[in-house]
Structure 1
Amino acid sequence: MYIDPNHLRILAAIVDSGGLSEGAAALNKSQPSLSRTVAMLESRLGSRLFEKGIRPLRPTELCLSLAEQGRVIGQASEAARIAAELYSGGKAGTARIAGTPIFMDGVISYMIASFQSAFPDVAIQQSYGYFAELSEQLKTGNIDLAICPMRGDDIPEELSFEPILRGRNVIACAPSHPLARKSTFRLEDIAQYPWIAPPAGSPLYADLKNALEIVGITDFRVSFTGGSLAAILRIMSGSDALTVLPYSVVFMQRPSNMVTALPVKLEHPDRQLGLLWRNDRPVRPAVSRFQKFLKGEFSGLADRIDVRGREAVWRR
């Protein structure tokens, strides 16, 4: 026998509230409508739900059993309502993101931690890649959002790009490096030290070569190539190696005191770090919230980088 789940919820409200009038008030319904529902149920079931002639209402054993199921239905309904509101508000769900390794590990990971502290029910699925791979992943729908440095004229027609931080590179080293401990040094002094080179296919590798050529270093020794940001930082901490990194990455590592930027003004790349997504598909609420969160975080970061950079890095 099929019993309408709403009728079970009505029985639970009557039992829990202590009467028809009280149950009607709890459900925002009229008392006569609840009376009709109870009478209809008793007729279908062929059994009384409340003892006859007893006031206040006394539920029968069957009524108590059905009311218990009504409570379960009510709890499930409330849980479903909350789940739907969380999802539609971007406070629950999944965001699949990907980006260039140095930026993801050196900057975005800190922001993901802050985001998930505020929105713990949003699951972040993160992967790595450079533009060619990221754009393909977006086109096939394997990721929702890419975070990578781009030039505005390189954006495919089916993708949208929103800049969040302009490109700025610095020569980075460990705080214990001999050059970091000098109050002044000549650019020629840089040439004697080995270099850590980013992966050959990354935009940062081209930036390293261009930066060294601009400061007059055409013959340089590479002691380590590729690796994660964690590996680069550890190698620098135990050696006199130098590398070129985005200043935003160096800036975010300040609490760890593992890396610093030499006060050498480089020519910055003509790229901007930005958000990349498909413009022909709806953005899920959790992705939209994460995207908005990143834009707010980078807005504040850009201002702090400007101040710190003028004071400590781009002085010559």
Structure 2
Amino acid sequence: MKIEPRRLLELLAVARHGSISGAAEAVNMSQPALSQSIALLEREVGVKVLERGRQGARLNDFGDALVFYAQALESLLGRAGEEIRMRALGLEGTLSIGITPVTAVDLVPRCIEVMLRDTPHIAISVVDGLDQEITEMLRTRQLDLLVRRLGIAPQYTDIEEEALFGVDWSLITAPDHPLAARSSVRLSELADVQWVLPAGGSAFRQQMELVFASVGQTWPARGISTNSILAIKSIVMNSACVSVISPRLVEVEASAGRLKVVPLADIGPPRPVGLVWRRGEKLSPVAARFAKIIRTVAQADEDAAASAVR
């Protein structure tokens, strides 16, 4: 089966505008011409992809399946154009990475610094988002690689994961907080504390909800919510509020004595963080170089941590 790529993009326009007429105007075609193009697409794939009615054109299940690939094609063509534009400006290429908060503060910035030191003539885009959001962006070729927690987003057969290291969650308090002197604490003991926690809709909130759920605790109703990790740390440092966070995100403040990190005894083993990419596809030279760098840096961190324990 061979599909004309242009017809996929025209189907995507119909999906976005909800009608043949709206899509025709968007792609600068006449309505009869677009209708004929969709009919030819249906002939190519051997099934109907649109249900036409008084309210307009609606994609059926076959159409929805094709739109996924149409989005990927649109992203791929856009990335190709951007790549050529960058090369025309004298740059070597582009790299688009999806991240979540635990990798945004330390690991990815360090790896980018190594990348730019060795390969300065590249353009790098970093997208911070929910695990599901950046996974979909990877699948539709808007991103080259993800560096995120594994085992949170839905599993797809078209992506591959590689664990790099494990991260845990700890309680953070001000140095003079009553809990700061504890060697460990359990989430189940903290029903009466004043919390400062991430606001809804963020990747950080999504991950932290899983932490509470993993020990059978409901999300705290009492406390402060914010969409800023910086604000969470600042409020904890300057109040009686506490929060739950990965120790990696507060290393600077803990080393300076501004925050106290108290291990959580009931949340189980560290969760894996790793690389995610599209299965069966060769990475671009720039993306492959970044993947090699992040594997090297992550392994060096793990070796250093193991040596410190010994």
Q: State the TM bucket, normalised to the shorter chain.
A: 0.5 to 0.7
Indicate how the Cα distance of structure 1 residues 129 and 263 shifts in structure 2: closer, same or farther if over 3 A, else same: closer
RMSD of aligned alpha carbons: 3.4
Q: String of CA shifts for 1:160-188, please: whole Å, max 9, x gaps.
A: 111111242211233443432x3668768
Answering whether residue 292 of structure 2 is matched by residue 289 of structure 1, we say no
User: Which aligned pairs between 1:231-242 and structure 2 lie closer than 5 A?
Assistant: 231-242=231-242
Q: Which residue of 2 aligns with 1:205?
A: 208
1:274 matched to which residue of 2?
A: 274
Provide closer, same or farther for how the CA distance between residues 220 and 136 of structure 1 changes in structure 2, counting only shifts above 3 A.
closer
CA contact (8 A) 1:172 1:243 kept: yes
Matched residue type, 1:260: K
Q: What are the residue-to-residue correspondences of 1:11-90 with 2, within 5 Å? A: none
For 1:193, what is the secondary structure of its paired residue? coil
- Displacement after TM superposition at 1:101 (Å): 2.8
Q: In 1, Cα distance between the equivalents of 2:219 and 2:139?
A: 41
Q: C-alpha separation between the residues in 2 aligned to 1:163 and 1:119?
A: 25
- In structure 2, what residue type is equivalent to 1:209? F
- How far is the alpha carbon of 1:151 from its aligned partner? 1.9
SS at match of 1:262: strand
Q: What is the Cα deviation at residue 127 of structure 1?
A: 1.0
Select the structure of larger CA radius of gyration: 1
Contact 2:169 2:264 in 1 (8 A): no
Moved more, 130-139 or 148-157: 148-157
Partner of 2:122: 122
- The match for 2:39 is none
Determine the C-alpha separation between the residues in 1 that align with 2:95 and 2:221. 41
Answering whether residue 261 of structure 2 is matched by residue 261 of structure 1, we say: yes
Q: Deviations over 1:251-296 (max 9, x none)?
A: 4655555433114424236741111111243311111111111111
SS where residue 234 of structure 1 aligns? helix
Q: How has the CA–CA distance of structure 1 residues 170 and 148 changed in structure 2, closer, same or farther, with 3 Å as cutoff?
A: same
TM-score between the two structures when normalised by the length of structure 1: 0.57
Corresponding position: 1:93 with 2:96: no
Residue 195 (str. 1) matches residue 195 (str. 2): yes
Question: For the residues of structure 2 that align with 1:156 and 1:284, how far apart are their CA atoms?
Answer: 21
State yes or no: 1:145 paired with 2:145.
yes
Say which SS state the counterpart of residue 224 (structure 1) adopts. strand
Asked whether the equivalents of residues 198 and 227 of structure 1 are also in contact (C-alpha less than 8 Å), the reply is yes
3-state SS of the aligned residue for 2:105? helix
Is contact 2:170–2:264 with CA below 8 Å preserved after alignment?
yes
Distance 1:256 1:281, change over 3 A: farther
Q: Is the 8 A contact 1:169 1:269 kept in 2?
A: no
CA contact (8 A) 2:195 2:220 kept: yes
Work out the CA distance in 2 between the residues paired with 1:184 and 1:271.
Answer: 21
Using the TM superposition, give the Cα deviation of residue 106 of structure 1 relative to its aligned residue in structure 2, in angstroms. Answer: 4.8
How many angstroms apart in 1 are the aligned matches of 2:273 and 2:252? 15
CA distance in 1, matches of 2:127, 2:281: 21
Summarize deviations over 1:26-47 as a string: whole Å, max 9, x none: xxxxxxxxxxxxxxxxxxxxxx
Judged with a 3 Å threshold, the aligned counterparts in structure 2 of structure 1 residues 234 and 298 are, in CA distance, closer, same or farther, namely same
Post-superposition offset of 1:137: 0.5
One-letter identity of the residue aligned with 1:177: H
Match of 1:56 in 2: none
2 CA distance for matches of 1:164 and 1:237? Answer: 31
In structure 2, the gaps of 5 or more residues are 1-86
- What amino acid is aligned across from residue 212 of structure 2 in structure 1? K
Compute the TM-score of the two structures, normalised by the length of structure 2.
Answer: 0.58
Q: 1:110 to 1:183 in 2, by over 3 A?
A: same
Aligned partners of 1:96, 1:251: CA distance in 2, in Å? 27
Counterpart contact for 1:130–1:148, Cα < 8 Å: no
1:232 aligns to what SS in structure 2? helix
Q: Which runs of 5+ in 1 are unaligned?
A: 1-86, 312-316
1: CA distance between counterparts of 2:293 and 2:219? 43
Matched, 1:225 2:225: yes
Report the AA paired with residue 225 of structure 1: S
